[in-house]
Chain A
């Protein structure tokens, strides 16, 4: 990566709840939470700014959120709608550069370095994007403009909501120094306490800290940390990131002992994972089962297939084989997950002794098409009803 880059980080403001508030004006200005209902297991997926004032944040158990703000409005959310809105936003971003890396449903970063001659400065593009997103979707986005991904993300956070901030080579140190080291990507639960032991609290502390004792503590990671503290980051924007694994899991509303229900759940999860594998055009060679007992002990079990698969029945049957080995008499299950790993691309070798598979695969592809047209819920496997 040579020369100066211009990177934009676009982050939709309280995305899920904003979509709900846009469509249901009566919710505006109220604490809105999208996620699990407050009387059920599960977590908050998104909280409106009003709800955040009560200390509610995403990934918090809904029950806790309800305690913090009993009059909050809890919504299940319509994730298909959010995906549609997300796609409209991403389409706008791609008008400025093909180098758009979608980081999640409501977040993306883009490299506009080569687009500057066409569209003007990074700040100008950011303003354009904000305006067009508002006009097209009625939603607001916060955009950060900076010479790299780390600083761009940081900038997008500086003036939220509906913000626009520019970090340059000139002002980056002034902005970084007072911030907590936890704002550096890669500094989390493990590194932060170690830094704190050395008396390093802010990014400025880290920047000024001598390298040698840091190396003694962190090895090669020390140089990387120092570089980040100086606001350096040479990660490229990769428009498409090949998934390493695809998985899905579900927490039961009540712990489940019933084998039949567990097996139906495996089929549902496998079906969803297989659909995503096919949508990505990959097949998984390793099948993983995740199992959490009612006492929260969690185990994962893996099986490797002779030929990688993207078919529901193969995934489900492999996961069921793993499940049956673990199911102890009467031990209630809290969570089940099914995943595919060791993903491969390219043509699939068909099996001599399972020639129906090829036909089954055609059936599943047809089912994918029906689901794409009429929605996920319209077509289900007989056994899972």
Chain B
């Protein structure tokens, strides 16, 4: 294998794929990135056997071929190289010679054949969604994913394709975030899946502002393929034949993940159908007040009390060994007095990740779940803390 690639392009690709690589693995090849050169592309692949990422970049291929190189080391070398073209030449013993300007490196690789291939998801249900929309849905929900390994079905996001909608839900049993988006797909494609946290994090990294994501869902795997924006622009030009060729190359990022097996809890059941009180609040103001009061929270006293009285909200954090904080907000509230305690982090999470100016809080009493809503298909259910 012998290729020439520009530093910026290969660095960008490595940045994208190297997160998947685990530093502690029993299988040494999993620390490597698979490089495959053919036609006019270099394909970079990493996997931890649960999640795999593949990224294609354009390259001048002088001799096609494949190898695998230690991902972290390769990445740190490329990062330090001067700007410009990098030449990579690999011999039959998988020794890679990397040269760029006045720099020269030789690193030891492993045979490409030993690298576990990413599964090909040809058969399955297909969906299409704008990358920006999916990214937005993940941002509004993924923070609520549970990291409690004993509740493994909650260690990911629920994705439901049903009734011409994509519904994404994440919960850790203490709060639940739900986002919805209209989506066109045939009725036969109605399905649900739980995508594990690691895949969600990678997906968040790779989703951009533009382009579309093609989703393929099978029994136990899910693939996300993304179109590069530059390739997209190029696709508009050229002959029809070139067009199809470019179209094939446009799919330049692929993420394949195993799904979490098991049944996601019935989240509909825990969303309160009606609450006693509803109040409109300025998102930024509430977030700032919570951030300030939470300065006085500790590991053992991690709650703030919210007192809703006529046209007034006061937020109080108190702990005997630290002290007390109080924030007062003038609000438009005509309901009965309600006092309820929440973990401030859990309440700040959605506020940080929404961009609406106004949020609505729905409350019933100090033991019932509170609901945060916005003028968009999103909702957040949060369980109070029982005051002692």
Contact = CB atoms under 8 A, between A and B. Distances in A.
B176 interface: yes
Nearest to B346: A349
Interface in B369-388: 369, 381, 383-388
Contacts of B176: 352
B385 A281 contact: no
Contacts of B383: 349-352, 355
- Could you say which of B300, B341, B383, B385 has the most chain A C-beta atoms within 10 Å of its C-beta? B383
Contact of B173 (A344, A352, A362): A352
A359 B365 CA distance: 12
Contact of B300 (A344, A350, A358, A362): A344
Which secondary structure dominates chain B's binding surface? loop
A346 interface: yes
B163 interface: no
B141 interface: no
Interface size class of B (residues with CB under 8 A): 20 to 34
Interface string A223-250: 0000000000000000000000000000
Given A306-B150, A306-B151, A346-B301, A281 B388 contact: yes
B148 interface: yes
- Could you say which of B173, B300, B319, B368 has the most chain A C-beta atoms within 10 Å of its C-beta? B173
Interface in A350-366: 350-353, 355, 358-359, 361-362
A350 B386 contact: yes
A359 B367 contact: yes
A304 to B, nearest CB: 8
B386 A347 contact: yes
A348 interface: yes
Nearest to A361: B386
Interface in B251-299: 265, 270
A306 B383 CA distance: 15
A351 to B, nearest CB: 5
B19 interface: no
Interface string B78-122: 000000000000000000000000000000000000000000000
Contact of A351 (B174, B319, B387): B174
Nearest to B151: A306
A345 interface: yes
Contacts of A353: 173, 265, 270
Given A353-B173, A353-B270, A348 B300 contact: no
A362 B270 CA distance: 20
B7 interface: no
- Could you say which of B150, B319, B367 has the most chain A C-beta atoms within 10 Å of its C-beta? B367
A345 B173 CA distance: 20
A260 to B, nearest CB: 27
Contacts of B381: 352
B388 A346 contact: yes
A240 to B, nearest CB: 13
Contacts of B369: 352, 355
Contacts of A359: 367
A281 B171 CA distance: 28
Contacts of A350: 174, 367, 383-386
Nearest to A305: B150
A350 B381 CA distance: 12
A361 B301 CA distance: 19
A349 B303 CA distance: 9
Given A344-B300, A347-B385, A351-B174, A358 B148 contact: no
* A-B pairs with lowest CB-CB distance, top 7: A347-B385, A350-B383, A358-B367, A347-B303, A348-B386, A306-B148, A346-B301
Interface of B: 148, 150-151, 171, 173-176, 265, 270, 300-303, 319, 341, 343, 367-369, 381, 383-388
29 contacts: A307-B174, A345-B388, A346-B302, A346-B319, A347-B303, A347-B341, A347-B388, A349-B343, A349-B383, A349-B385, A350-B174, A350-B367, A350-B384, A350-B385, A351-B383, A352-B171, A352-B173, A352-B176, A352-B270, A352-B369, A352-B381, A352-B383, A353-B173, A353-B265, A355-B368, A355-B369, A355-B383, A359-B367, A361-B386
Given A346-B300, A353-B173, 14 more contacts: A281-B388, A344-B300, A345-B301, A347-B301, A347-B341, A347-B385, A347-B386, A348-B386, A348-B388, A350-B367, A350-B383, A352-B369, A355-B270, A361-B386
Interface of A: 281, 306-307, 344-353, 355, 358-359, 361-362
